[in-house]
């Protein structure tokens, strides 16, 4: 289940100190929030704290934010999970993923709950009240690929490389990436990409529909700004209703989807009529 929508004013955004400890930067300007994965000395590898802090950002974003852009610091999106998370020591005092199972202090249910908590950092990016954009330079490996898959749009520099590395490490992709991957490329191509753990370059990503757009490295920032401007030009309420409608389409029969379209449109027309009424 996706997270509940934000409740403005109910929760403060993470402090600068919390963001730094999570390897993140955040800039909110009006309707646009920009999140940067920022651990350049670890190739922007992410930890459990990165994802719980992402979830916190999602809950606390001001109510007028419509667009979220996620990028990596420097010339890489992210090297995926910080591999030290799999060591008994973990990372900077963070809980190790394996230590509890190894010493018997955690059981399978504890681990399931922990992974569920981490998945929250990815799920909120699907919320209909936001449009989320991954701006990808260089590698997006494992959890980095899954983070890009959690976004609505993926704008890639031509040096971008996606890689679902987990199976090569004896793991499965568990940070919400398998569904969007299959939705976009189909189960057969997804199987090949995951089970070979090969790198998928920018041009192939465009052909497969994984990339919304591929541009030169120097053009990435401008292409993201153009996409943001284009999205901002749309009526905000219609954007929310349309994203919600599109998200249902794959799971609905044609009849159900037609009913959903009618319901959403009645809501829109009612709102527009109210706005046009004399004295409104």
Binding site for ligand ACO (CB under 6 A): 42-43, 45, 79-84, 139, 141-143, 165-166, 169
Strands (E), 48-204: 67-72, 131-136, 139-141, 153-157, 161-163, 199-201
Q: How far is the CB of 43 from ligand ACO (least distance, A)?
A: 4
79 or 157: CB nearest ligand ACO: 79
143 or 211: CB nearest ligand ACO: 143
Q: By the 8 A CB rule, do 176 and 125 touch?
A: no
* Cα dihedral 153, 159, 160, 161 sign: positive
| Nearest Cα residue to 86 out of 94, 76, 74 | 94
83 or 269: CB nearest ligand ACO: 83
83 or 259: CB nearest ligand ACO: 83
Q: How far is the CB of 61 from ligand ACO (least distance, A)?
A: 25
79 or 224: CB nearest ligand ACO: 79
Q: How far is the CB of 125 from ligand ACO (least distance, A)?
A: 17
61 or 143: CB nearest ligand ACO: 143
How far is 273 from 280, CA to CA, in rounded Å? 10
Phi, psi of 126 (to 5 degrees): -85, -5
| Nearest Cα residue to 208 out of 170, 268, 139, 154 | 154
20 or 84: CB nearest ligand ACO: 84
Q: How far is the CB of 174 from ligand ACO (least distance, A)?
A: 8
How far is 85 from 62, CA to CA, in rounded Å? 32
Residue found by looking up tokens 């963001």 in the block: 19
How far is 80 from 44, CA to CA, in rounded Å? 8
Q: How far is the CB of 141 from ligand ACO (least distance, A)?
A: 5
Q: How far is the CB of 256 from ligand ACO (least distance, A)?
A: 35
Q: How far is the CB of 191 from ligand ACO (least distance, A)?
A: 17
DSSP assignment of 23-86 equals: TEEEEEETTEEEEEE--GGGTT-B-HHHHHHHHHHHHHS-TT--EEEEEESTT-SB--B-GGGG
Which residue number places its CB atom closest to ligand ACO? 142
């Amino acid at each position: 289940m996706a997270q509940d929508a934000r409740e403005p004013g109910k929760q403060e955004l993470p402090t600068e100190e919390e963001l730094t400890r999570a390897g993140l930067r955040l800039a909110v300007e009006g309707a646009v929030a920009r999140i940067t994965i920022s651990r350049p000395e670890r190739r922007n590898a992410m930890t459990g704290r990165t994802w719980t802090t992402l979830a916190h950002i999602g809950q606390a974003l001001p109510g007028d934010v419509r667009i979220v852009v996620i990028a990596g610091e420097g010339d890489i999106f992210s090297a995926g999970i910080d591999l030290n998370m799999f060591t008994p020591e973990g990372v900077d005092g963070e809980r190790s993923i394996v230590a509890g199972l190894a010493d018997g202090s955690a059981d399978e249910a504890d681990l399931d709950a922990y992974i569920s908590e981490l998945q929250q950092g990815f799920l909120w990016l699907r919320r209909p009240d936001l449009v989320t954009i991954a701006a990808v330079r260089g590698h997006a490996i494992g959890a980095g690929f899954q983070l890009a898959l959690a976004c609505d749009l993926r704008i890639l520099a031509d040096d971008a490389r996606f890689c679902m590395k987990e199976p090569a490490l004896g793991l499965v992709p568990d940070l919400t990436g398998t569904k969007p991957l299959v939705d976009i490329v189909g189960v057969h191509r997804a199987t090949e990409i995951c089970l070979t753990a090969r790198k998928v370059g920018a041009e192939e990503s465009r052909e497969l529909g994984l990339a919304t757009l591929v541009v030169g490295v120097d053009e990435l920032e401008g292409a993201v700004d153009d996409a943001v401007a284009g999205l901002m030009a749309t009526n905000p309420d219609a954007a929310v209703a349309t994203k919600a409608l599109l998200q249902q389409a794959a799971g609905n029969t044609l009849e159900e989807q037609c009913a959903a379209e009618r319901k959403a449109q009645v809501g829109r027309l009612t709102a527009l009529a109210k706005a046009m009424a004399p004295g409104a």
